[in-house]
Amino acid sequence: MQYVHLGRSGLKVSRLCLGTMNFGPQTSELDSFAMMDQALEQGINFFDTADVYGWKLGKGWTEQIIGRWLSQGGGRREKVVLATKVFGRMGEWPNQSRLSARHIKQACEASLRRLQTEWIDLYQMHHVDRETPWEEVWQAMEQLVREGKIVYVGSSNFAGWHLAQAQEVARSRHFLGLVSEQSLYNLNERTIELEVIPACETYGIGLIPWSPLGRGLLAGVLNPVEGGRRAEEDLKKKVAQSLQKLEAYEALCAQIGERPADVALAWLLHQKAVTAPIIGPRTIEQLDGAIRALSLSLSHDTLKQLDRLFPGPGGTAPEAYAW
C-alpha cells in the first residue's frame, strides 16, 4: 500500500479510502466487518463515513456498525484514520442539522458514541452552510480540537471560493483550518478542475474524490457481467446519453487489457492533486478489485486518449473559458 500526507498535514493516509455508505442499507453488518478487516489487511488505513449514512433519520446506522467493529479491539482503532461528517439532518427539530455551533457540538458527541471512540481523526463538513458565519463554525471546531474530540477538519462539496473563504478566516484565528476537501470527481465529471482543485493546491488541502466510477458509468457498464448495475433506470439513461463515448472508453480499456473500473481509479491516482479516491465496495470482491488500480500505470498515450474522450472543462478558470 502507498501512503501520502493528507493535504499539508503530517497525517499519512492510504491512497485508497474505504467508503462505508453501503454498510447497513446494502451490505450486512457481518459482511461490513469482513470488508473492514480485509481493508486493513490490504493496508487501507483511511475509512470514511457520515452521521447520516444508513438513511434512518437520527440513527447513524453506518456509524453504529463501524463502532461495533472498532469495539472488537485488536488495534483496529489505532490503525484506522477515521473520518466522519456533520451537516445532514439528524432529527425533526430546527437545530438538528447544518453547521451551527450547537449542532456541531451535539453531532460530534453523538458520532463519538455511535463510533465507540474517544476521537475522530477527520471531522468533515458535509456541505457548506451559507446561513452560519465562519467565525461560529471555526469557534466550534477549535473547541472540539481543544477537547481532544477531533484532530483535523475537512470539508465536502465546497466551491473553490468557499475553500478560500474558510481558510482565510481560519488563518485570521491562527487555526489550521481545512486539511481536505471531498468532492465529486471522476473522468466523466471534472468541473472541479476549474476552481476547486486550484484552491486545494494553493492552500495545501488534500483532495478526496467521491464517486470515482461516475456512479457506475465508468465501471464497465456496457458489459452486464462486469458492470453489474445495468438494470438501474437512472444509470441506463446516462448510458444512453453517453453511449458512443462509453463504447470508445471500454474499447480503449480492452485494448490495454485492463478493466474499466480499474482504469477510472488509476486515472484519478495519476492526478497530482488527488490524495485518495473513495471506493464504496458492496462486496469483498469489489474491494479486492479496487486494489488493482494502485499498481496500474497508465502510459502517456493512454492518458491523452482518456483526455480526448473525457475532455473536462478545458483547464483551470478563467483560462478555460476566457483569454
Q: Which amino acid is at 197?
A: I
Which residue has 463510533 as its cell numbers? Answer: 115
Let me know: does 101 contact 140? Beta carbons within 8 Å: yes
Which residue has 471534472 as its cell numbers? Answer: 190
pLDDT, position 61:
97
**Domains of the chain, start order:** 3-309 (3.20.20.100)
CA–chain centroid gap for 170, Å, is: 23
pLDDT, position 237:
84
Is 53 a residue of the active site? Answer: yes
Please list the rounded mean pLDDT of every run of 10 residues in the chain (323 residues).
97 98 95 96 97 96 98 97 97 95 98 98 98 98 98 98 98 98 98 98 98 94 61 79 93 96 97 97 88 94 97 96 92
Q: pTM (2 decimals)?
A: 0.95
The per-residue pLDDT for range 191-248, each reduced to its tens digit, is 999 999 999 999 999 999 999 999 999 999 998 654 444 457 778 888 988 899 999 9
For residues 228 and 135, give the distance between their C-alpha atoms in angstroms, rounded to a whole number.
46
pLDDT, position 227:
44
pLDDT, position 181:
98
Active-site annotation holder among 3, 53, 123, 321: 53
Let me know: does 141 contact 153? Beta carbons within 8 Å: yes
Angle (deg, nearest 10), helices 243-256 and 300-309 = 170
For residues 168 and 166, give the distance between their C-alpha atoms in angstroms, rounded to a whole number.
6
pLDDT, position 12:
98
pLDDT, position 269:
97
- 323 burial (CB, 10 Å; 0-12 / 13-18 / 19+) is exposed
